Chains A and B, each alone.
Chain A
Amino acid sequence: MPTSTPQTERAATRPATENLLEVSGLEKHFPITRGAFIRRTVGAVRAVDGLDFTVRTGETLGVVGESGCGKSTTGRLVTRLLEPTGGKITFEGRDITHMSVRQMRELRRDVQMIFQDPYSSLNPRHTVGTIVGAPLRIQNIPTPKGQKRAVQDLLELVGLNPEHYNRYPHEFSGGQRQRIGIARALALRPKLIVCDEPVSALDVSIQAQVVNLLDDLQRELNLTYMFIAHDLSVVKHISDRVAVMYLGKMVELAPRDALYATPMHPYTLALLSAVPVPDPSRRDKAQRERVLLTGDVPSPIDPPSGCRFRTRCWKAQDKCAQEVPPFVELAPGHRVACHFPVTDAERTPQGRMAAQHAAAEVPPDTAAEPAL
């Protein structure tokens, strides 16, 4: 994860006023079924298990976390590609939690998605014109200058040659394909775009281009992003606020600078210390202070009691196993779900070294896989 994204930090956070999207107690459990003829539910994968967050108009909310923590599921719940098991999603004051497919059709114009894999998100049998024009046709959007013209304008907007209207996806590179995906998402002029790891399938050199394109488009079209990624440096570049997820829960949500400068959740601290440093002179120091977690992420089928991070946390105490830590605001705009948040002392090099040793001594969770 080399940080080749240009470190041109975005200007002061735009005045984010009202909440475009409000999510409370959001849950998604995927049932595990057994039996060939009579299916019975024997358990559930608790992919997303109680999320509370808001996305403000005009901002970019970055969502980070390791694989399988429920980031993508969250994105698909917000765009209502998945039906939530519990909780509530409000978009512009309207409850969209359990809207039917028919009711959702209108909402689709306002909430769009950019997908992770540019090789699988474009139908290989359709031309670029058909792909980018599909939203316009499905939603019956009037195109005064003709649909072809509208699509070509979109292609130009995302930096593609409008002449390529008749080409097929396999004739483009990964970065160009992702631009096609972006053009499709922009076709309906949405207010919110959920970007599901939009650059993680791309070459590092192309990542920067696509991230900058997203940045420019946000300014031009006044978009709001929910930017899902596992690359902390990309998230740092594009986000106004960042949410950290662990095993289906949000553990920390803070303004970007606050999160990166003063992480309060032990998991965030470990995550940030794992970012590779491209500068060799600083790298050794960074490596010495890296907080390495032992063990694996527990199974979301049978998550740990209390705090979900406690099995790998060097600060865990009995309380952590008994009580679920509330997601509370510890500093202005900085919400953390931890009984024993990281102190300033732990953020110093000495503190980090101490944390590193403590983290290495956490016994790996040897609990057997839950019997199904």
Chain B
Amino acid sequence: MTLGPVTSSTDVATPAGEETPTIADGKKIEGRSLGRIAWMRLKRDKLAMAGGGFIIFLILVAILAPLINKVLGHPVNEYHQDKIDPNLGGIPPVGTWGGISKDFLLGVQPVTGRDLFSQIIYGAQTSLLIALLATLLAVVIGIVVGVTAGYYGGWVDSLFSRFMDLILAFPLILFAIALISVLPPTKGFRIAVMVLIIGGFSWPYIGRIVRGQALSLREREFVEAARSVGAGSFRIIFRELLPNLAAPILVYSTLIIPSNILFEAALSFLGVGVPPPTPSWGRLLSDAVDYYEYDPMYMLIPGLAIFVTVLAFNLFGDGLRDALDPKSNR
């Protein structure tokens, strides 16, 4: 199965889009897979490529956070009281723009004087870890339930579809606040619970798409052809259906990542996210509410981090959808 950003696909001379291969004289004839054509289409979409570039940059930042912080920042929980202006009740940082200086690239936190740069890059770690794990969980459950419902149809489909409706109608935020606040606030445990909650409630978005696609693919003649040469259900699902489902799955998982990032931020904002002192964008925002009159930069910077990340994922997801399915002109 070749799909999406195939790494070794830069050696194609003919322009993308036109699906009219000419018979190469003497040249080795090689097929162009749909994934490869999509990749060539994606490469021409500047916005999507910018989004994708930012996503890669962000993931690298999250992974290399300790290293980057050593060079450009200060330890996360190091207090710098000398950076706080003692004249204004000991709240706002010294200097303009929230204390941005060569030493503190994004300024310092009010009151404590902790380095905001290190908070942001470690916050990226938290955000991406939870959002990506939750998305992975959602995709796995979504594929299993969606394919089962779509392929088998009948009462299996009815049962699973009603179950998905039930989950989508669930008052998720209230449930999350209630559940998390009664559970012990250790870091690893909280992360696991958040992944389970976010993933466990966002899978129906994938599930519905997969079900619908499987339902229509099942009626295509190539499935009948596979059956007529003796292929079993297992083989049909994995070899015939899933390769065709890869594109929508990829697109919709890219599009639920940003909503999961937002959801993680929302939970942290509401005080039921990862426990302090682990940095989190959502909690930075919620802290900033108390100081925005004195230090607006403190609110602006984590807000921008969330905004740009969500935008990047959405742009990339939209571009991916256009590239994989050129017929869907929104």
Q: Which residues of A contact B (CB under 8 A)?
A: 36-37, 39, 76, 79, 81, 101, 104-105, 108-109, 112-113, 115-117, 120-128, 134-135, 138-139, 161, 163-164, 166-168, 170-171, 181, 184, 187-188
Distance A295 CA – B222 CA, assembled complex (angstroms): 36
The answer to whether B230 and A81 touch across the interface, beta carbons within 8 angstroms, is no
The answer to whether A166 and B30 touch across the interface, beta carbons within 8 angstroms, is yes
Interface residues on B, range: 20 to 34
Given A81-B224, A115-B221, A168-B32, also A138-B230 (CB < 8 A)? yes
The answer to whether A138 and B158 touch across the interface, beta carbons within 8 angstroms, is no
Residues of A within 8 A of B29 (CB): 161, 163-164, 166-167
The answer to whether B221 and A166 touch across the interface, beta carbons within 8 angstroms, is no
Q: Is B170 an interface residue (CB 8 A)?
A: no
The answer to whether A168 and B230 touch across the interface, beta carbons within 8 angstroms, is no
Which of A37, A39, A104, A138 has most B Cβ within 10 Å? A138
Distance A125 CA – B225 CA, assembled complex (angstroms): 15
Q: Is B34 an interface residue (CB 8 A)?
A: yes
| Nearest 9 pairs of A and B residues by beta carbon | A167-B31, A125-B243, A121-B221, A135-B229, A108-B230, A105-B230, A123-B222, A115-B221, A120-B221
Which of B221, B224, B235 has most A Cβ within 10 Å? B221
Distance A105 CA – B31 CA, assembled complex (angstroms): 31
The answer to whether B21 and A167 touch across the interface, beta carbons within 8 angstroms, is yes
Distance A76 CA – B235 CA, assembled complex (angstroms): 20
Distance A136 CA – B224 CA, assembled complex (angstroms): 17
Which residue on chain B has the smallest CB distance to residue A101? Answer: B232
The answer to whether A120 and B229 touch across the interface, beta carbons within 8 angstroms, is no
Q: Is B45 an interface residue (CB 8 A)?
A: no
The answer to whether A36 and B158 touch across the interface, beta carbons within 8 angstroms, is yes
Q: Which residues of B contact A (CB under 8 A)?
A: 1, 19, 21, 23, 29-34, 155, 158, 220-222, 224-232, 235, 239-240, 243-244, 246
Residues of B within 8 A of A138 (CB): 229-231, 235
Distance A171 CA – B32 CA, assembled complex (angstroms): 8
Residues of B within 8 A of A113 (CB): 224-225, 228
Of A108, A126, A135, A171, the contact of B243 (CB 8 Å cutoff): A126
Distance A275 CA – B21 CA, assembled complex (angstroms): 38
Report the minimal beta-carbon distance from A56 to chain B, rounded to whole angstroms: 22
Distance A187 CA – B225 CA, assembled complex (angstroms): 13
Which residue on chain A has the smallest CB distance to residue B159? Answer: A37
Of B23, B30, B220, the contact of A120 (CB 8 Å cutoff): B220
Report the minimal beta-carbon distance from A148 to chain B, rounded to whole angstroms: 14
Distance A117 CA – B225 CA, assembled complex (angstroms): 11
Residues of A within 8 A of B231 (CB): 134, 138
Report the minimal beta-carbon distance from B153 to chain A, rounded to whole angstroms: 12
Residues of A within 8 A of B227 (CB): 81
Given A170-B19, A171-B19, A171-B21, also A124-B228 (CB < 8 A)? no
Report the minimal beta-carbon distance from A225 to chain B, rounded to whole angstroms: 15
Distance A116 CA – B221 CA, assembled complex (angstroms): 8
The answer to whether A104 and B33 touch across the interface, beta carbons within 8 angstroms, is no
Distance A120 CA – B33 CA, assembled complex (angstroms): 17
Which residue on chain B has the smallest CB distance to residue A105? Answer: B230
Residues of A within 8 A of B19 (CB): 170-171
Given A120-B220, A123-B243, A184-B225, also A166-B31 (CB < 8 A)? yes
Report the minimal beta-carbon distance from A156 to chain B, rounded to whole angstroms: 14
Which of A112, A116, A120, A123 has most B Cβ within 10 Å? A123
Residues of B within 8 A of A104 (CB): 230
Report the minimal beta-carbon distance from B33 to chain A, rounded to whole angstroms: 6
Residues of B within 8 A of A124 (CB): 34, 244
The answer to whether B33 and A121 touch across the interface, beta carbons within 8 angstroms, is no
Which of A36, A79, A167, A187 has most B Cβ within 10 Å? A167
The answer to whether B244 and A125 touch across the interface, beta carbons within 8 angstroms, is yes
Report the minimal beta-carbon distance from A150 to chain B, rounded to whole angstroms: 14
The answer to whether A79 and B228 touch across the interface, beta carbons within 8 angstroms, is yes
Which residue on chain B has the smallest CB distance to residue A181? Answer: B225
Contacts A113-B224, A164-B31, A171-B31 supplied; 14 other A-B pairs, CB < 8 Å: A108-B228, A108-B229, A112-B228, A115-B221, A123-B240, A124-B34, A126-B243, A134-B231, A166-B29, A167-B29, A167-B30, A167-B31, A171-B32, A188-B229
Distance A154 CA – B155 CA, assembled complex (angstroms): 42
Residues of A within 8 A of B246 (CB): 125
Distance A223 CA – B8 CA, assembled complex (angstroms): 44
The answer to whether B228 and A168 touch across the interface, beta carbons within 8 angstroms, is no
Distance A163 CA – B31 CA, assembled complex (angstroms): 10
The answer to whether A168 and B31 touch across the interface, beta carbons within 8 angstroms, is yes
The answer to whether A115 and B230 touch across the interface, beta carbons within 8 angstroms, is no
Which of A76, A124, A127, A168 has most B Cβ within 10 Å? A168
Distance A299 CA – B139 CA, assembled complex (angstroms): 44
